[in-house]
Amino acid sequence: MASSVRRATLARLSVGGVRHAIPSGVRLGVLPGQARWSSSQRKTVNPFVRLVYAQLVTITALVGGAAFGVYCMDSRAAVHRYVFAPLIQLFTDPETAGKIGIKVLEYGFGPRDCGVDDEVLRTELFGKSLTNPIGMAAGFDKQAQAIDGLFDLGFGMVEVGSVTPEPQPGNPQPRAFRLPLDGALINRFGFNSDGMKVVRERLQVRLESWVTRVLAAGRALVCDIGTENRNQDPTQLARARLFSTYPDADVRLLDEFGVPRSLKEDRVLAINLGKNKTSREESVTDYVEGVKQLGPYADMVVVNVSSPNTPGLRRLQRRSVLEGLLRDVVRARDGVVGAYDGHAKLPLLVKVSPDLTESELHDISDAAENTGIDGIIVSNTTVTRPAGLLSHDRVHETGGLSGPPVKPLALHALSVIYARNRGKIPLIGCGGIASGADALEFAKAGASAVQLYTALGYQGFGLPRRIKDELTTLLKQEGTTWKQAVGSGVKAIEPYAPDAATQVGLFPGAQDAFDRSVVSLRNEIDHLRHSFDAPSAHDTEQRRAVPFQVDPRDHAYIELLDKVHRVLDHTPHFEDHGVHRLGLPQPESSVPEQPLTTASEKNLTQGNVLHKAVRDVTRVEVPTDAPAPTGPTRTTTSGLRAEHDPAQAEARAARVQSFGDADRHRVI
């Protein structure tokens, strides 16, 4: 059989067979002897085989695409870090990349965290349980569009905003710049916001949608809230009653059943409040209005007084201003809580800058404790540019710097505040967190939870799961949990409690505190002097410390100084064997020892001693039989008459003026 097939094939490929099979027009490029299949022979291919082949290709493509889609829906997939994130960075600017990410998460196309949070990560924040302490910082989802998508990534806390009372476009574009070599970002968005009204409507729709799904799940919940006629459709009745009669009934329903505003078990939703640029700098109305409008939809509210992109905003961090602001916001918060009887206490936090001094951080900590603020977020972006940045192209752009370069500043500020309040106020760390090790550092510095933002743009949507896995491994290696690690790296400060029965003096560290206060006051006085163009005490000391140099043209002044020093210490100060060393540094001290000793013995100042010496040298003995002066005379304030020559007086004045121009700060 095989031999017959081979013979038939050879026959078809013979010269005669080829002549009849190939059309008269031979295609260019066909070499002599090269075989070609004719159109009639192609038609002889079995249609069933072709159909099966096409179906196999289609099924393979569908299965492969579905498998790849399922693979991509898991946030642990490496494609998010090594494919999607680099491509986004390559072809888009930071703001466009953020908008794409928001839309992907908003419409449900983002990946899901398919892992399970380990128990070592479980913690509590303001009495609310969290499966993990990793949060999404404000600035990514400014308009509250992708809340559920962010929770699906595995965050234990999501903060939206900043939200301003009125819509505003923010600063002109471009307003965000990558520093790729540093993994950092500079932004000057300027609180671009849709406004509280639009954000409130989005939150309302989200809650209504959730309640609708719950009501559709069964009739038991509808019966619990009270249905007057169960023969009718209970779902439609409940929806009409909830959303038509009581606009905020969905919020009350959440309170009744203990559902968090995040609508996720053991997760919290935070709303960050900002100020409009058109608002007065010292006004707190924007924050108060934000608490009233958006407080009912949040598990916690954050007051942002530290953005560097709103003029004058950071000045609200001064203690005298901050305390008044926080008291007003706390009163507004208490009013919101009172309006919803079942609503648990709404935690109120303040977000601060990493660019504050230790004394300013202490002031903020004390202000938060005095006003009843529940927590502090440390920190926002920095306006400084730390040494060692590798990306030089955009480093001088105006705006706040975020990412790993901010981490040392944020850690320092966090540890200072934690040590100040001894852990009485929960702190949330933020700034440069890109790994589990970073998160653990913040925990040891006093952070009860942490937030990230910039690293998500560089490493993709799989970052939260990766940080949690790394953090779990580190905690287990150290044999501890997240809650136990909080504040473990801050040196314990024993509170001072003197024994009432024992007479004690200054408390420990009082002298050091006093010295620091003196230095602080002195610096403040110097700043005031500079503001009035007055010389500071430090500048005066520096001028007095400069060695005195005599004007070499001032021969009369040099001779006078020599006479004075002869009287004081019997040694010519500016001549050496008859040769004047004008204007040159002298081997002797510019202030001889004799005035110091004389001043000490006679309880006088050095100035008094020098003035007396000058008077002794310049005093002219007038003979008793001297003739009366014939030139012009003048009467002194003491009643004496002295010879006065106007020409000589003008010459002396000119000479004094020339001395002053040569050295305005000389001291005898």
Residues 421 and 452 both lie in one domain: yes
Distance, in Å, from the CA atom of 130 to the CA atom of 67, rounded to the nearest integer, reads: 32
Q: How far is CA 63 from CA 56, 60, 72, 597, in A?
A: 10, 5, 14, 102
The answer to whether position 363 is within a domain reads yes
Residues 369 and 345 both lie in one domain: yes
Helix (H, G, I), strand (E, B) or coil at 254: helix
pLDDT of residue 578: 45
Give the E-state strand segments of 379-504 in sequence order: 400-402, 427-430, 447-452
Q: Which residues of the chain have pLDDT under 50?
A: 5, 10, 13-22, 24-31, 218-231, 244-248, 342, 493-507, 536-547, 574-591, 636-640, 656, 659-668
The answer to whether position 248 is within a domain reads no
The answer to whether position 81 is within a domain reads yes
DSSP H or E run through 220: helix 220-225
What lies within 8 Å, CB to CB, of 288 at 6+ separation is 328, 329, 332
Residue type, 600: S
pLDDT of residue 220: 44
The answer to whether position 256 is within a domain reads no
pLDDT of residue 556: 73
pLDDT of residue 664: 42
* Structural domains counted in the chain: 3
Contact present, 573 and 581 (Cβ < 8 Å): no
The upper half-sphere exposure of residue 503, i.e. CA atoms within 13 Å in the direction of its Cβ, equals 0
Structure tokens, 4: 């017959």
pLDDT of residue 532: 60
Structure tokens, 504: 């004690």
pLDDT of residue 538: 43
Contact present, 183 and 455 (Cβ < 8 Å): yes
Backbone angles phi, psi at 146, to 5 degrees: -130, 40
- 236 burial via Cβ count (<10 Å: 0-12, 13-18, 19+): exposed
Residue 314 CA, chain-centre distance (Å), reads 11
Residue numbers of the domain that contains 533: 511-542
pLDDT of residue 651: 64
Cis peptide before 320 (omega within 30 of 0): no
Residues 522 and 556 both lie in one domain: no
Distance, in Å, from the CA atom of 208 to the CA atom of 250, rounded to the nearest integer, reads: 6
pLDDT of residue 667: 38
pLDDT of residue 207: 87
Cis peptide before 547 (omega within 30 of 0): no
- Among 564, 555, 562, 668, smallest CA distance to 616 is for 564
pLDDT of residue 325: 84
The enclosing domain of 339 has a CATH number of 3.20.20.70
pLDDT of residue 579: 44
Helices 593-601, 606-618: crossing angle, 10 deg rounding = 110
Contact present, 129 and 90 (Cβ < 8 Å): no
Residue type, 546: V
Distance, in Å, from the CA atom of 340 to the CA atom of 252, rounded to the nearest integer, reads: 7
Structure tokens, 154: 């595995």
Query: Which 8-state DSSP code applies to residue 348?
Result: E
The answer to whether position 597 is within a domain reads yes
The answer to whether position 228 is within a domain reads no
Residues 272 and 166 both lie in one domain: yes
Structure tokens, 14: 């013979």
**Four-residue CA torsion sign, 352, 353, 357, 360:** negative
Contact present, 106 and 145 (Cβ < 8 Å): yes
What lies within 8 Å, CB to CB, of 583 at 6+ separation is 549, 550, 551, 552
pLDDT of residue 15: 44
Cis peptide before 162 (omega within 30 of 0): yes
**Among residues 307, 379, 415, 448, which one is catalytic?**
307
In the chain, the N- to C-terminal Cα span, in Å, equals 129
Distance, in Å, from the CA atom of 203 to the CA atom of 196, rounded to the nearest integer, reads: 10
Residues 192 and 335 both lie in one domain: yes
Tell me the whole-structure pTM to 2 decimals. 0.64
Structure tokens, 423: 């852990």
Buried b (16+ CB within 10 A) or exposed e, 455-483: bbbbbbbbbbbbbbebbbebbeeeeebbe
Contact present, 272 and 140 (Cβ < 8 Å): no
Q: What pairing do the DSSP bridges indicate for beta strands 348-352 and 300-304?
A: parallel
Query: Using alpha carbons only, what angle is made at residue 140 by residues 135 and 145, rounded to the nearest 5 degrees?
Result: 100
Residues 172 and 313 both lie in one domain: yes
Residues 522 and 454 both lie in one domain: no
Residues 289 and 419 both lie in one domain: yes
DSSP H or E run through 429: strand 427-430
Query: Which 8-state DSSP code applies to residue 244?
Result: I
Residues 470 and 562 both lie in one domain: no
pLDDT of residue 546: 39
Distance, in Å, from the CA atom of 51 to the CA atom of 35, rounded to the nearest integer, reads: 26
- Among 551, 527, 521, smallest CA distance to 539 is for 527
Residues 80 and 180 both lie in one domain: yes
The answer to whether position 103 is within a domain reads yes
Contact present, 191 and 139 (Cβ < 8 Å): no
The answer to whether position 45 is within a domain reads no
* Residue keyed to tokens 């043209």: 553
Residues 297 and 425 both lie in one domain: yes
Backbone angles phi, psi at 23, to 5 degrees: -60, 165
Residue type, 412: H
Give the E-state strand segments of 118-249 in sequence order: 123-125, 128-130, 134-136, 157-163, 176-179, 184-187
Residues 169 and 273 both lie in one domain: yes
Active-site annotation holds for 307 = yes
